[in-house]
Structure 1
Amino acid sequence: MNTPLRRLATITLVMFVALMASATWVQFFQAESLNTDGRNVRTLYREHGNARGPIVAGGEAIAASVPVDDPFGYQRTYSHGELYSAVTGFYSIANGRSELEKYENDQLTGRSDQLFFTRIRDLLTGKRPEGAAVETTVLPAAQQAARDGLGDQNGAVVAIEPSTGRILAMVSTPGFDPNQLAVHSTSEAAAAYRALAEAPGNPLRSNATQERYAPGSTFKLVTAAAALESGSYTADSLVPSPTQLTLPQTSATIGNFGGSSCGGEEITLTEALRISCNTAFASLGLTLGEDALREQSERFGFFDPEQTVPMPVVESVFPTGLDPAMLAQSAIGQRDVQASPLQMAMVASAIANGGRLMTPYLVETVRAADLTVVSQTRPEVLSNAVSSGTASALTQMMVGVVESGTGRAARIDGVQVAGKTGTAQTVEGEPPHAWFTAFAPAEAPRVAVAVIVENGGNLGNEATGGAIAAPIARAVIQAVLGS
């Protein structure tokens, strides 16, 4: 009789141990993943039942939670939805989160470890929990100028304060209205998401940080920097500039825009940048070599798969294993060179800042509901992209581009603007992308900006960076300088 009882007791004990282990695993080890699972209805009610902190630009809440009479308690609203969609992203019951709503979620919900004592205080006083406010670096006037400049064209604009890395504007078009996704009807929110996901231009994906393009002639800044940093060239050095350059080991050629001549068989590096001479920079790339161009790209921020602002930024790349023909094409920003608009703003920003590249960031300050500062971003040097001497030389070369070269549409009365145009070939049969990157004032830079207009925008095949992207950059610069 004792033997069956012992067996039953053993089985019962094993079952209790298994039950305790299972409960411990679910309640402790899986607690965080279950709490953050978008399918967890309890989490949704808990999050929406508390006031989510605002996202702020220029002192105004561009995303806020307002009380509503339904089981969720609060609904997210966006005061300038489409204008800031690349910054705020969306917060949705049916579709989750994106951009700052996703990557600052712990701060906005109040769950961040930095808000631990605030949560304890609220618990002891019986105060309803509130999320922290996320104050962005965005300058509303610059954001609006960028959006107005792009209009109905697909593209992106990123503006950076060179001395700090603060992102002053981040616009992607087409944008979207996050309010459509924030509704509490899951069927309506899901339908809105599907419509956006299927819309031309992929509005839900930020062109500013998540898309990369051939940078075209804006990459000539990197090639010029590599030449000056090598010690073998100065701004006045002569470089070969034939009307056509036959690519080594092929019968193919590289020509200049419109088949034009660059003015002689040799021109100075300064003149080559001013008129954006393709053959000169392709020749220069062949002389410098793949390693020099790749290393210079990396110093400007290329090859960083972990960059965040705090949203992840797609890695910009310079290809490897190049034959001479591919190298010549890569030196002028074609072939497999790929860069995000943020990356090209970083190139201009580093030159503007005397060669020091600052880490770009979008969140200035996080404040608890009682306005105490929870965290504040401190500017950090990401790399020394070029020497101060090289930065100074490049600045003067870029000033020439705007004053009398391909970037004259970016000129501003009384302000010296340094810039570089780019017209990047895409797939055969499609119009080129139009680029412009610049900074101003050249002598004491306050803003660096990069603009891309996809497939020539409203000008199509007739587009150039100087014609369609430069005026947008000018408007953003004026907005910053006028603030």
Structure 2
Amino acid sequence: MNEPVRRLSVVVLAMFLTLMVAASYIQVIAAGDLNADARNVRTLYREYGTFRGPIVVDGESVVWSSPVDDPYNYQRTYSDGPLYAAATGYYSTVFGRTGIEQTENDLLSGTADSLFWTRLSDLVSGETQRGASVELTLDAEVQQAAASALGDDAGAVVALDPRTGEVLAMVTSPTYDPAVLANHSSSEVNAAYQELLAQEDGPLVNRAIAGDLYPPGSTFKLIVAAAALEAGYDADSELYAPDELDLPSTSNTISNYGGKSCAANERQTLAESLEISCNTSFANLGMQLGWSLVESKAAEFGWGEQLSIPLAVTPSVLPDDPDGAQTAMASLGQFDDRATPLQMAMVAAGIANDGVLMRPYLVDSVRDANLRLVEDFEPEQLSEPMTRADANELTDMMVTVVESGTGTAARISGVEVAGKTGTAETGTDARPHAWFVGFAPADDPVVAVAVLVENGGTTDGEVTGGRVAAPIAKAVMEAAIAAGGDS
């Protein structure tokens, strides 16, 4: 063989080897990434061509797939879409998936490992692959009550079953209709998405668990009270409650709401301070306890925890190594304290459940297309932030808040309610946020709730947690009690 032919043979062989390596890489190594690429239309058609399982609330499908005559074969349909959007999220050919549509995608699409035998059975019988149904813990009546009571005000409501951690309601406002993003027209979906993004009030933001964190205001006094009880205080322990409290190493002072006096002789009990939400006594108490004790107690209630319900929850945060003045402010739920409404519902739930905090969860069970149980989620303890005795003592103090203190608007006839109000300054010229956290019935709780109304909502006049948020919490608790509290 002469030299030119030999060289040509080497080049041809190298080209064949390159093609083989490239083909093997594409078909084996890169196959997963290519299939997952949003630009791969065939992947979209294949995914939409499979019957996607429903999302179920109280035995009724609130999301399901309807057959359609187009290349996708099925149209994702949302019943009461705006009501459940915070939980379900959307399923879009253009923008992918969010919410339960994302976190439980393998189950809904039928590709999860736990559905292997179902897929094998379908293959043998010649049945078309079908996704599983995902049953949520939401209670339809409690969810509707929360949405109706919050109305058009920006904010969020979270209700938990304190005995199990089940999420009974998760409402964020403003909301949106996932159906507009599930449309099969790319141009219409893009237009709808851009319109949602352009809205300044952020309808795509889940304020309940994953939006901006909020200063909890005086609802954080529950954490300080819990820390005090652990340190040896009781409901009758006397606190220093001046009209104004000098902050150490500064010329600044803390005063009470509206400049009011908490006690004529500058002394009142822990229970009395919580009842009227005295600022100066709790600021001083926080400094007396020390920030490390308060911070530790908050962590036991979930601050800083990377939670998945299975939706990702933004961890709540606290200031890092505050000085005395900053500790005083942080003890009032201000300074750098930030929390989600879910976090504050967890505080209420931990107290309600005799000091045991259950891990919150949103998915109750999963069933295959033949309604066989595939997964069943059981309650799980997250922490034990309080002793039973301390939790019961704090409950009694919270009952007084609702009976004769700042939370009277949350009273329910014939039912003892435990609660705490909060009015959180935002650090801007905007009106304060209004909070209420609580649970009912106080002696045998079936629901714990947290309500946040951003900047007091549309309420005219004075903004306080007791005036704005407490009535919303009352409506949610009434609905949960009427539903029987069955989990």
TM-score by structure 2 length? 0.96
Equivalent AA in structure 2 for residue 238 of structure 1: E
Structure-1 separation of matches of 2:226 and 2:194:
45
Q: CA deviation at 1:14?
A: 4.2
Structure 2 Cα separation of the partners of residues 130 and 408 of structure 1:
51
Secondary structure of residue in 2 paired with 1:177: coil
Residue 481 of structure 1 corresponds to which residue in structure 2? 481
Provide the C-alpha distance between the structure 1 equivalents of 2:193 and 2:343, rounded to a whole number of angstroms: 29
Q: In structure 2, the residue corresponding to 1:462 is in which secondary structure?
A: coil
Task: Give 1:2 deviation, angstroms.
Answer: 6.3
**Which whole-Å CA distance do the structure 1 matches of 2:10 and 2:336 have between them?**
67
* Displacement of 1:25: 3.1
Q: Secondary structure at the match of 1:120?
A: helix
| 1:226-268 C-alpha deviation (Å, 9 max, x unpaired) | 111123x111111111111111111111111111111231111
Q: Contact 1:92/1:182 (CA < 8 Å) preserved in 2?
A: yes
Distance change >3 Å, CA 238–CA 12, structure 1 → 2? farther
Contact map agreement 1:209 1:313 (CA 8 A) in 2: yes
Residue of structure 1 in register with 2:89 after alignment: 89
* 8 Å Cα contact 1:241/1:277 also seen in 2: yes
CA contact (8 A) 1:334 1:425 kept: yes
Cα distance in 1 for partners of 2:356, 2:3 equals 80
1:59-74 paired onto structure 2 within 5 Å: 59-74=59-74
C-alpha change, 1:387 and 1:27, in structure 2 (3 Å) is: farther
Paired residues for 1:368-407 under 5 Å: 368-407=368-407
CA deviation after TM superposition for structure 1 residue 394, in Å: 0.9
- 8 Å contact 1:172–1:208 — kept in the other structure? yes
Question: 1:26: which partner in 2?
Answer: 26
Task: Specify the alignment match of 2:469 in structure 1.
Answer: 469
Shift of 1:4: 5.6
**Structure 2 CA distance for partners of 1:71 and 1:288, relative to 1, 3 Å:** same
Tell me which residue corresponds to 1:281: 282
How many residues align? The count is: 481
| Alignment match, 2:228 | 227
Structure-1 residue corresponding to 2:215: 214
Matched, 1:105 2:99: no
- Aligned equivalent of 1:437: 437
1-side partners of 2:335 and 2:30: how far apart?
A: 47
> Residues 44-443 of structure 1: matches in 2 within 5 Å?
44-211=44-211, 212-231=213-232, 233-263=233-263, 264-304=265-305, 306-443=306-443
Partners of 1:431 and 1:460 within 8 A in 2:
no
Distance 1:354 1:243, change over 3 A: same
C-alpha displacement at 1:31, in angstroms? Answer: 2.8
Q: CA deviation at 1:73?
A: 0.7
- Separation (CA, whole Å) in 1 of partners of 2:14 and 2:228: 73
Shift of 1:95: 1.5
RMSD: 1.4
Alpha-carbon deviation of 1:11? 4.4
**Aligned equivalents of 1:269 and 1:9: distance in 2?**
92
Letter of the aligned partner of 1:220 in structure 2? K
- The whole-number CA distance in structure 2 between the counterparts of 1:268 and 1:18 is 82
Distance, in Å, in 2 between the alignment partners of 1:307 and 1:15 is 52
1:429: Cα distance to partner? 1.1
Q: How big is the shift at 1:27?
A: 2.6
The answer (yes or no) to whether the contact 1:86–1:172 under 8 Å persists in 2 is yes
Give the AA of the match of 2:230: E
Secondary structure of 1:209's counterpart equals coil
SS at match of 1:396: helix
Distance 1:12 1:296, change over 3 A: farther
The offset of 1:34, in angstroms, is 2.5
Distance 1:23 1:120 in 2: 29
Q: Secondary structure at the match of 2:389?
A: helix
Superposed displacement of residue 459, structure 1: 1.9
In 2, Cα distance between equivalents of 1:206 and 1:157: 11
Task: Give the C-alpha shift of residue 288 in structure 1.
Answer: 1.2
Distance 2:385 2:24 in 1: 51
Equivalent residue letter for 1:365: S
1:449 deviation in Å? 0.4
**Change beyond 3 A, Cα 1:12–1:429:** same
